Structure 1
Amino acid sequence: MAQNQFDPRHLETLDRDLDRLSSIEVASNYVSRPIVGPSLAFVFIAIAGLASATMFGFSDGGFLIVLAAIFGAYMALNIGANDVANNMGPAVGAKAITMAGAIAIAVVFESAGALIAGGDVVSTIAKGIIDQSALSNTQSFIWAMLAALLASALWVNLATWIGAPVSTTHSVVGGVMGAGIAAAGLASVNWPTMSAIAASWVISPVLGGVIAAGFLALIKSRIIYQEDKIQAARKWVPILLGIMAGAFATYLALKGIKKLVKIDLTTALGIGVAAGILVTILMFPVIKKQSEGLENRNKSLKVLFRIPLLVSAALLSFAHGANDVANAVGPLAAIVQASQSGMVESTAAIPLWVMIIGALGISFGLFLFGPKLIHMVGNQITKLNPMRAYCVALSAAITVIVASWLGLPVSSTHIAVGGVFGVGFFREWDADRRRQRLQIGLSKSDLPGREEKKRRKLVRRSHFMTIIAAWVITVPSAALISAAIYLVFSNL
C-alpha cells in the first residue's frame, strides 16, 4: 500500500514539465508569427498565378500574363500593407477605433471602392511619363511593364519593412521611368511631367500640413480655449462637420465615383456645397443632444468627433480603393491587352478578374501587414486625439480638391502624412507660444534648458527624417530597380 501512496514530488516534476511545454509553446508561437503573414501572402500570389494560368495557359503570351498576374498580386499586397495606413492610422492613433475595427472597415471599403468605382480603363504608360513611340515594340513594352510592376512592388515592400509610408503612385511612376530609360534612353522620358511629379513631393505634404494645422488652430481658438467649451462646441462642431461633409462629397464626386459617372470640378463643388449646408443644418440638434450632460473639459469634446472620424476614414478608404487599385492592376491590364492584341494601345481595359486580384490583394495586404504602418502613422509621429485626427482626414479631402482645381499631381500618402506632421508641428508651436507667455518676467536661470526644450518636442524627428528621405528617393530607387530588372528580362 505504501508504494501506491501519492508522492508530492510527482507534482513538482509535472509542474516543471508543464512549464517546459508552456515555454516551448510560447517560443513556437513567437517564431511562427513572422512566418504566417508571408506564407498566406505567398498562397494568395500563387492562387492569382494559377487562376490566370487556367484562363490563358503558358503558350502564345500566356506565360507573360501569368507572370504579370503574380507581380500584380504582389504589388496589390504591398499597397494594402503601406498605403491604407494613411486612411486608418489617424483614427487608430486617436483611439476612435481599435486596430481590428480599422482593418475591418478598410477591407470592406477598399474592396468596395475598387470593385464598384475602380476605373474600367487605365493609361498603359503611367501618367504619360514615357513617349508612346519609344515602346511601340510589343515585346519591349511588355517587359517594361513587368519590370515596372515588380520594381515598384519591391520598393514599397522595402519601405513597409523599414516603417516608411511612401507613395505607391510615385513608385509605379519611377518603375515605368526606369524601364523606359533602359529600353529607349533618357530622351524617351517626358521630363515636364516628371518635373510636375517631383514638385508634388513638396506641394502635397506642405498643403496637407497647412490645411490640417489651420483647422486645428480653428478648433483650439473657437472651442478648446473657450471658457464654456460645450456651448462653443454646439455652435462650431456642426459647422465643422458640414465642412467635412461638403469636402468629402466633392472628393468622392471627383475621385470616388468617376467610373460610374463623370463629374467636372464645378459640378462636384456644387454637390459639396449642397451636402455641406444640409449636414450643417441636420447636425445642430444632433450635437446639442449629444453634448447634454458632458463635463466642461477637453476630454468631453472627443466624443463629438469620434463618429465623424470613422465615417471619414471609411470614405477615404473607398476613394483610395477606387483610385489606387490602378497602381497594382494598371500595368497588368496593359500587359494582358498587349499580349492578346499584339499591339501597344494608349489605354487598356481592365478585365473583372484583374480588378478582383487588385481588390483582394489590397485587402489581404492590409490584413496581414497593415498594422505596422497604421501604428506608425497613428501613434509614432505625434500624439493624436479625435479632434487632431479629424483635421488630418479633412485636410486629405480638401487638398485633393485644391490640387484638382490647380491641375497639380499630388500623392494621397504625402497629403495624409503631411497632415499628421502639420498637426504635430502646430501643437509644438502653440505649446511653445503659450509657455512663453507664462515665462514672462522669469529670470534666465528659471527658464528651461536646451535638453528640456528638446524633450518637449511633440513630433519625433527621427521618424520625420526617415519618411522624408524615403519620399525623396522613391522615384529614383524604383527607377534603378526597374531598369536593372528590365535589362535582365530583355536578355533572357
Structure 2
Amino acid sequence: MDVSFANFLQDVMSNPVLLITVVMTLGVIFVNGWTDAPNAIATCITTRCMNARTAILMSAVFNFLGVLIMTQINSSVASTISNMVDFGGNTHEALIALCAALFSIVVYSVGASYFGIPTSESHSLIAGLTGAAIAMHNGVDGVNMSEWIKVIYGLVLSLALGFVIGWILCKLLTVICANMNRRKTDRFFRGAEIFGAAAMSFMHGAQDGQKFIGVLFLGVAFSNGESSVSGVVIPIWLMLLCSAVMGVGTSVGGERIIKSVGMDMVRLEKYQGFAADLSAAVCLLLSSLFGIPVSTTHTKTSAIMGVGAVKRLSAINFGVVKDMMLTWVFTFPGCGLISFAMAKLFMAIF
C-alpha cells in the first residue's frame, strides 16, 4: 500500500467517505489536544513553573517527538488498536463504520469538555470502534477479545500503578528534602517539573498519537481495498500532521482541563507536581513498551491522587474525582451506543 502524501491526497479527493473519515479523525485528534493533552502540562502551569503559552508550545513539540521516536522503537500500541476489531471483508462498509466510530468520540468528548471534565479519548476510541464493529456484524463476532482484554489491563495498570508510583516517589522526595533549604529546593523543582511535563507530553504523544495514527491508517487501507495495515511503515508526514493538530487543540481549549486537573482535584506544590508528572510518565512508558493502550488522563489523575495522599487523603477533592470517574464509567456504553447507532445510519445512507 502506497502511503506517500501525494497518494494520500489523491485517495482523499477521489473518495468522499475517506474524506469524511480523515476529517473526523483529525477532529478527534483536535479534541484530544483540547481535552486530554492539557493533562500533561496542567501541574506545570498551575504551580507557576511555566506560563500557559510556553507550556503549550513545549507540549506540542514533545508530543511530536513522542510519536516519532516511540513509533520507531515500538509501534505495538498502534497495532493493538488496529487489530482490536474486525470490520469484515467489505472495506466500503468498514470505512463507513470507522467514520461512525470517530463521530461518536467527537460528540461525547465535546459534551464532557463543556462541563470541564477530562475525558479519555483512548477509551472513547475503543468504545467507538467496538460499537461500530458490533453494528456491522449484528453481534460481538467482530470484536477481538484477545486484544480487547489489554484495555482492561490498561485500566487497572493506569489507576493502580499511577497511584502507587506517585505516592512512593512523593514520599521519597519528602524524606530526602526534609532538612533542605526550602528556597533552594523550590528552584530545583521548578526545573525538574518542566522536565516532568516534557516527559509527560512525550509519553502522551507515544500513547495517543500511535492510537490515532493506527485509526487513520485503517481508513486509508479500507479505501484501497485492504482489510489491515500489517507491515506498513508509518510515514513521518502523518506523525507531523497528527502532532500539529493536537497542538492546535491544546492551545484553543485546554484551560478548563488544566484548572480541573491541576488545581481543583489537589492543590500541588512544585515537588508534588514533579512527582506526579514523572510517575505518570514512567507508567505510560511501561505501558507503551508492552503494547498496552492506556488512558493518559487515568494515569495522570491517579498519580496526582497518589501524590496528594502522602500528606493526607483529605487533601484530595473527591467531588472532582467522582465526576471524573462517572465520566469514564459512562464512556464505554455512551460512545459505544452512539457509534452503533451512527454506523447503522451511515450504512443505510451510503
TM-score, normalised to structure 2, is: 0.87
Deviation (angstroms), 1:118 = 4.5
Q: Which moved more, 1:199-208 or 1:79-88?
A: 199-208
2:185, 2:110 → 1: CA distance?
A: 39
The alignment status of 1:191 with 2:145, answered yes or no, reads yes
292, 296, 302: which one aligns with 1:412: 296
The alignment status of 1:103 with 2:56, answered yes or no, reads yes
Deviation (angstroms), 1:147 = 1.4
Deviation (angstroms), 1:325 = 1.7
Q: Which moved more, 1:96-105 or 1:381-390?
A: 96-105
Q: Which moved more, 1:153-162 or 1:82-91?
A: 153-162
2:28, 2:328 → 1: CA distance?
A: 18
Q: Deviations over 1:230-260 (max 9, x none)?
A: 2xxxxxxxxxxxxxxxxxxxxxxxxxxxxxx
- Read off the aligned partner of 1:81 and give its amino acid letter: W
Number of the residue aligned with 2:323: 466
- Secondary structure in structure 1 of the residue aligned to 2:309: helix
Q: Deviations over 1:319-374 (max 9, x none)?
A: 3223322333322221112212x121243554555434312210100110112212
300, 309, 318: which one aligns with 2:202: 318
- Equivalences for 1:201-350 in 2 at 5 Å? 201-224=155-178, 229-230=179-180, 296=181, 298-340=182-224, 342-347=225-230, 349-350=233-234
- Secondary structure in structure 2 of the residue aligned to 1:463: helix
- Secondary structure in structure 2 of the residue aligned to 1:305: helix
For the pair shown, which has the larger CA radius of gyration, 1 or 2?
Answer: 1
- Secondary structure in structure 2 of the residue aligned to 1:154: helix
1:323, 1:402 → 2: CA distance?
A: 11
2:107, 2:345 → 1: CA distance?
A: 16
Q: 1:209 to 1:117 in 2, by over 3 A?
A: closer
Number of the residue aligned with 2:276: 392
1:84, 1:483 → 2: CA distance?
A: 27
Between the aligned residues of both structures, percent identity stands at 26
- Read off the aligned partner of 1:67 and give its amino acid letter: I
Q: Is the 8 A contact 1:205 1:414 kept in 2?
A: yes
Deviation (angstroms), 1:58 = 4.7
Deviation (angstroms), 1:70 = 0.9
Q: Is the 8 A contact 2:44 2:193 kept in 1?
A: yes
Number of the residue aligned with 2:261: 377
Q: Is the 8 A contact 1:118 1:321 kept in 2?
A: no
1:354, 1:217 → 2: CA distance?
A: 41
Number of the residue aligned with 2:10: 55
Q: Which moved more, 1:325-334 or 1:73-82?
A: 325-334
> RMSD of the alignment, in Å?
2.7
Number of the residue aligned with 2:3: none
Q: Is the 8 A contact 2:123 2:331 kept in 1?
A: yes
Q: 1:109 to 1:408 in 2, by over 3 A?
A: closer
481, 487, 490: which one aligns with 2:338: 481
Show structure 2 runs of 5+ residues with no match: 1-5
Deviation (angstroms), 1:87 = 1.2
Q: Deviations over 1:386-440 (max 9, x none)?
A: 11011112211332355568875533221111011112233224xxxxxxxxxxx
Q: 1:337 to 1:129 in 2, by over 3 A?
A: closer
Q: Is the 8 A contact 1:337 1:349 kept in 2?
A: no
Structure with more relative contact order (C-alpha pairs < 8 Å, separation 6 or more): 2
TM-score, normalised to structure 1, is: 0.63
Number of the residue aligned with 1:268: none
Number of the residue aligned with 2:24: 71
Q: Deviations over 1:192-234 (max 9, x none)?
A: 543442353333122211111112222223322xxxx22xxxx
2:99, 2:115 → 1: CA distance?
A: 25
Show structure 1 runs of 5+ residues with no match: 1-50, 231-295, 430-456
Number of the residue aligned with 1:428: 312
Number of the residue aligned with 1:366: 250
1:300, 1:352 → 2: CA distance?
A: 42
1:188, 1:386 → 2: CA distance?
A: 47
Number of the residue aligned with 1:43: none
- Equivalences for 1:47-196 in 2 at 5 Å? 55-56=10-11, 58-59=13-14, 62-115=15-68, 118=71, 123=78, 126=81, 128-130=83-85, 132=86, 135-184=88-137, 185-196=139-150
Deviation (angstroms), 1:188 = 2.5
Deviation (angstroms), 1:311 = 1.6
Q: Is the 8 A contact 2:207 2:293 kept in 1?
A: no
2:69, 2:176 → 1: CA distance?
A: 40
1:408, 1:350 → 2: CA distance?
A: 19
Q: 1:327 to 1:465 in 2, by over 3 A?
A: same
2:147, 2:221 → 1: CA distance?
A: 25
1:392, 1:106 → 2: CA distance?
A: 16
2:163, 2:30 → 1: CA distance?
A: 28
- Read off the aligned partner of 1:164 and give its amino acid letter: I
Q: Is the 8 A contact 1:93 1:385 kept in 2?
A: no
- Read off the aligned partner of 2:251 and give its amino acid letter: F
